[in-house]
Chains A and B, each alone.
Chain A
Amino acid sequence: MKKVADILALCIEDIATGMSTLEDCLEKYASMRQQLEPLLKIALSIKKPGDIKPSTAFKVRTRVHLMEEIHARRAKAKWWQIGFGEGAQRTVRFGRSRAAAIVVAVLLAASALGVGTAYASQDSLPGDVIYPVKLGTEHIRLMLTTDDASRVRLELAFASTRLQEMEALADTRSDKIGVAISGYQRNMKTVFAETEQLEDESASATLSETVAVAISRHLVILCLIEDKASEGSRETIKQVQELIGERQLRVLRILAGKNPVRATEITLDTMQQWLERANVAMAEAKIKRVEMALCQFVALRGLGNEIAQGAYGPNEEFDIVDEMNMQCTSNHLAILGAIYEKTPEDMKGSVERAMRLSAEGYCQASNSLLASGIRHNLPEKPQLPADIPDGVKARILDDLPEETPLSDEIPGSSGFGDGGPAPDGPLNGSHQSGYMSEDGSH
């Protein structure tokens, strides 16, 4: 028997091409009339917008700008071929002669400096005489790498090296830490540019996962460096944290389109990291750090809710995503409760906001599982920390979304929880396609 989705598509097609009328279709599939009719009416009422056209002035202006940009980039690429340019704009294709020239250059450099010097440079730090040799070696390795994914991995490895340098410099030679920070930003700039360019490639899931996980690790290290660094460097390190935190969201969105379960897992782990950071910082009364950690947490919480709703692609394993969200959120709420207690009055609103978002995420997951007939052992509503005031609890709980049961199930279909086939009809609207295969099976 055909699925409702297929029959709906067939009817839309037939009506649009004039092969049948709405009434013909409804008569033909009389048993599904109730389901099909409203959907077909909506489908048939969607019209192309009227005569929307860009102005001629805009078209000409944009064409000129486009050509200018293309030529400017070409010029930049040519310049890069001569020297060491910005990695983010790397569009050069290496020919055999170019690769051969590089190999010769490496051999010449090695013989001039001695292989030992190049090797010794690997432990050098900004400010050391042989530090440029270390950077030069990295550039050569990048130039010899021909595929984009390998280049991203290499840049990530070099970014980790920069972090090690920052860590080593933080408490001894803080005047040189800026060099390592700039280097780190350059490496990561290339990583992000390449990862976003590879978004549609088949390797992008693995790559975006690697990058997202690496950023989580970098954020931890950057926090440690921030703690050790001098007052002057702290602001820059904080900016770097904010920047890569923001870019991590973008990378996670790419990953969510390919692997929502993994994206959720990394998102939740990173959220936990930030909460722990906020908790420790609050105990040390470092309010700015708490604020930043909570900001990052809230951004990730929002992302987690969006992934669960299928905003970045089909969420075939939504039950896993929802359960992960519920379990981790319980833990997050407990930590937020501990932070709330220690928070000064004027900042309590931020913590309450984070708790509200978390509770919303929990409820959204719980409702979605419930609506799909999936049973779980977790409470339906989030357990708010016992120590927070009743008024705050009431405010948070009052704002929670109500459960939205399915309104029009397909006759004869059973819920997932019953072990029957997946419903062909609408789920709760919060999950996108992909849960079902073409033949209606899981």
Chain B
Amino acid sequence: MYTKRIDEIVTDAGLELLIERAKSDDADAFGKLYDMYIDRIYRHVYYRVGNAADSEDLTQEVFMKAWQAIGKYKITGTPFLAWLMRISHNLVVDFYRKKKKDELHLDDDSWITDSAPIPEEAAELGYGQKRLRRAILELHGDQQQVLMMHFIEGFTYAEIASSLGKREGAIRVIQHRALTRLRQILEKEKDVR
């Protein structure tokens, strides 16, 4: 679940310098930030919209928005990736609002394989990754955001708290409620089946 992140690979000083330069209107520096984070943002968006065409449009928009707002980004605050994720989250929320869910085209989601290794206990309950993903997407606002940032993106509670402007304790409470809600959704679905 926890892999080394780009922020950790690039030295803090190096990253800060790039961000500082981008904040000073240096397009090349911003281009380097784009190269560093494009894959992560794309993956984050893809997980939530489920098709390549919309993911590409939204990912492009994330970086455009980021460029427009980078002057307001504070290096000492939220990690840069978490800040980009926040922009992605807002854009995806807007995207879903504009489009009715039934209009959304989901590509073949075999990329989330049900055969992916899951704990034995979870397998017993039948929580395949496809079902989990669908259930996560049914969660509202911060609940979805917290689960995705923690379990999919590997952010710590402190980083999520900083990104969402809340205290760590609140993030743990959101996580608890999100998992409870997830359980309700999955069980309801099981009953229907």
Contact = CB atoms under 8 A, between A and B. Distances in A.
Contacts of A8: 172, 175-176, 179
B80 interface: no
Contacts of A4: 176
A434 B170 contact: yes
Contacts, number: 199
B154 to A, nearest CB: 8
Given A41-B127, A49-B43, A439-B169, A65 B38 contact: no
Contact of A5 (B43, B141, B165, B172): B172
Interface string A192-207: 0000011111000000
Interface size class of A (residues with CB under 8 A): 35 or more
Contacts of A424: 176
Interface string A120-133: 00000000000000
Interface in A48-75: 48-54, 58-59, 62-63, 65-67, 69-71, 74
Interface size class of B (residues with CB under 8 A): 35 or more
B102 interface: no
Contacts of B189: none
A407 B127 CA distance: 20
Given A39-B176, A312-B141, A313-B141, A45 B34 contact: no
Interface stretch (B4-12, B13-21, B180-188): B180-188
A396 B71 CA distance: 50
A215 B138 CA distance: 31
A408 to B, nearest CB: 8
Contact of B180 (A45, A52, A69, A425): A425
Contacts of B94: 250
B171 to A, nearest CB: 8
B1 A42 contact: no
A313 B167 CA distance: 13
Given A47-B116, A197-B68, A314 B184 contact: no
Interface in B77-134: 86, 90, 94, 111-113, 116-119, 121-123, 125, 127, 129, 132-133
A340 B10 CA distance: 64
Given A66-B63, A433-B174, A438-B167, A201 B72 contact: yes
Interface in A1-33: 3-6, 8-9, 12, 16-17, 22
A276 B146 CA distance: 41
A295 to B, nearest CB: 16
Contacts of B170: 314, 433-434, 437-438
B173 interface: yes
Interface in A64-91: 65-67, 69-71, 74, 91
A280 to B, nearest CB: 30
A426 B177 contact: yes
30 contacts: A3-B172, A6-B169, A9-B157, A44-B122, A45-B118, A45-B122, A45-B127, A46-B132, A46-B152, A47-B118, A48-B151, A50-B116, A54-B59, A62-B56, A62-B60, A65-B60, A66-B60, A66-B64, A67-B31, A91-B71, A198-B72, A200-B69, A310-B140, A313-B141, A426-B176, A426-B184, A429-B180, A432-B141, A433-B173, A434-B173
Interface of A: 3-6, 8-9, 12, 16-17, 22, 38-39, 41-54, 58-59, 62-63, 65-67, 69-71, 74, 91, 197-201, 250, 257, 306, 309-314, 407-408, 424-427, 429, 431-434, 436-439
Interface of B: 1-2, 25, 27, 30-31, 34-35, 38-39, 42-43, 46-47, 55-56, 59-60, 63-64, 67-69, 71-72, 86, 90, 94, 111-113, 116-119, 121-123, 125, 127, 129, 132-133, 136, 140-143, 147, 151-152, 154, 157, 165-177, 179-184, 186
Question: What 6 A-B pairs have minimum CB-CB distances, sorted nearest first?
Answer: A438-B169, A45-B122, A426-B180, A433-B174, A5-B176, A46-B151
